[in-house]
Chain A
Amino acid sequence: MRTKRILVKGNEAIAMGAMDAGCECYFAYPITPQTDIPEYLSTALVEAGGEFIQAESEVAAANMLLGAAACGKRAMTSSSSPGISLMQEAISYMAGSDLPTVIVNISRGGPGLGNIDPSQGDYYQATRGGGHGDYRTMVLAPSTCQEAYDLTIEAFDLAFAYRNPVLILGDAILGQMKEPIQTWKTRGRPAGEAESWSLSGANGRDPRLLKSLYLSEGALAGHHTHLVSKYEQMHSEVRGEEVLTHDAQLVVVAYGSIARIAKNTIRTLRAEGYRVGLFRPVTLFPYPALALAELAAQGKKFITIEHNTGQMVDDVRLAIRRHADSAFLPVYPGVLPKPEDFETPIRQLMENEPQTEEVRHV
């Protein structure tokens, strides 16, 4: 096993994770702030005998991904928010056709062209399917470059375990930040993980068909029964990180880069004597609702902080609805928050003082 400590960008960590996971095909279209991924893989993957195509659009890239996945290959695409919007049609077809794929969204500010700065504005799109029809993609939200590498490897395993698209949701902070990571896996994939269903030419066996069209009466309902049961099984993969929650009176809920910034806030406030903790969902779908509900049942207060105008807070409120509510502190896309930006709202909430910052309650 290779272990090497290297200084890389989050985007490069994802590309390296894909290489070590045994990714065989990668298709993409350039878009800031994720372009380091196609730049890296256009050389590394091809040198390793894999296939890279710079597609004519994100629409085409996502459909090339669909084709490679139908052949049972470990395949990936990456993009940023506007490009991910263009991929939603194909992602819906992949979900409907039980195709394992990995899709990376290094998200940026929206709506529309927005900006190229960090944002968590794609939470709804990522966790509610994103395209048309009832479906879910599994969503992993790394907050460090190491985790970006680790979760990319895991994303391939999960995609094939559930035959479902897996989304990695990062942002421009994670993608562009450089920090040391430890690579721990040599390139390769589990043998035979797609042999029972993938297309390879019928060659003596019964032909195989990968499709999402179910026209006859009741057939689509049967397909949904299958999909729903798959999504329920995915709940065994739910994951979250808790920091100093055991004795916390108030729990900050945040994911990805914002969770990492909030961790610093919590250290500062702890030093001042505030019993504050952090809950960081690592899987955004499935959502770690039970763990949050357990914390809520202990009588803790909650504040959700996101780099958007309020999206994940819906899931927090749903998770803790029997016991508590969550305040919400937005960081608007276009602003880069510092750890101290979160201090005053948290102090005021814990002291039951009136809020001087924009903190929303229901």
Chain B
Amino acid sequence: MYKEELAFSAPDVIVDTPMHFCPGCHHGTIHRLVGECLTDLGLVDSTICVGSVGCSVFIYNYLRLDAVESPHGRAAAVATGVKRARPENFVFTYQGDGDLAAIGLSEIIYAANRGERISVVFVNNTVYGMTGGQMAPTTMVGQKTTTCAGGRCQERDGAPLKMAEMLASLEGTAFSARVSVDSIVHLKKAKKALRKAFEVQMQGRGLGFVEFLSACPTNWHMTPLQANERVSQGLTSYFPLGNFKDTDLE
């Protein structure tokens, strides 16, 4: 007789509901890693999640956490206000590349430089996803988007911003890494990095930052498998994976 066994369960903090993300999008996986790390570190009860604007705006529908929405790009400033108001709580932001690296660049730089005790989950899929695939600050040179139909031109648009490296250069950043979730090996490393970005906040050491390279099949005009492949084969040459600041090692 066939016996059904639950081999793979999600922690309680993750809401058991269909997500609105497109097939092959990595947001769902990254949401799950966030939920798992919060659970593993016993942070669920004390967490305040600061949402942002973009595809991840509904994070509060998928994670059972106290949450506040922030205006586009302002999550790091809102999280600063939250953390200063409730230093005993765990506070994280979840932001896309348009949100954090374009309109919110000032807010994240200053929050990191002040060494705000917050953790930042930064999802870099090299496009504005929710608005339909426009050029982002992280769009690769040559990559075609709806606002650079001939491909991003470095002379005209500048080079893509390397946020993990940029934030690593700031004194207040306690941990900064770039990870991806396109393979089991990368997933495991990503979870380790995320855990560390959470721990530095718990230890009061400063801002913890993790940049996730993330697939966007819809706006890359690829199948989920092609998009997954692009992460390692097309992005990591410019956006290398690894830890750029780890105060444990200093």
Contact = CB atoms under 8 A, between A and B. Distances in A.
Contacts of A64: 77-78, 80-81, 84
B65 A207 contact: yes
A59 B81 CA distance: 13
Nearest to B51: A211
Contacts of B82: 67-68, 70-71, 199
A123 interface: no
Contacts of A89: 71, 74
A51 B133 CA distance: 40
B69 A211 contact: yes
Contacts of A67: 50, 68, 70, 77-85
Contacts of B77: 55, 59-61, 63-64, 67
A167 interface: no
Contacts of A27: 81
Contacts of A208: 66-67
A56 interface: yes
Interface in A185-230: 199-204, 207-213
B104 to A, nearest CB: 10
A181 B231 CA distance: 65
B46 interface: yes
B165 to A, nearest CB: 21
A84 to B, nearest CB: 16
A203 B80 CA distance: 21
Nearest to B61: A209
Interface of B: 44-48, 50-51, 57, 60, 64-71, 74, 77-86, 89-90, 106-107, 109-110, 114
Given A60-B106, A65-B81, A203-B46, A71 B86 contact: yes
Contact of B45 (A25, A90, A93, A201): A201
Interface in A73-119: 73, 75, 89-90, 93, 97
Given A68-B81, A202-B64, A202-B66, 4 more contacts: A67-B68, A71-B89, A207-B66, A213-B69
A24 interface: yes
A213 B51 CA distance: 11
Contacts of B78: 63-64, 66-67, 70
Contacts of A244: none
A242 B65 CA distance: 51
Contacts of B109: 56
Nearest to B79: A67
A128 B21 CA distance: 38
Contacts of A204: 45
A203 B84 CA distance: 19
B23 to A, nearest CB: 21
A199 B66 contact: yes
Nearest to A65: B81
Nearest to A204: B45
Contacts of B57: 213
Contact of A212 (B69, B83, B84, B89): B69
A261 interface: no
Nearest to B116: A53
Contact of A200 (B51, B81, B83, B89): B89
Contact of B67 (A57, A63, A72, A209): A209
B84 A25 contact: yes
B69 to A, nearest CB: 4
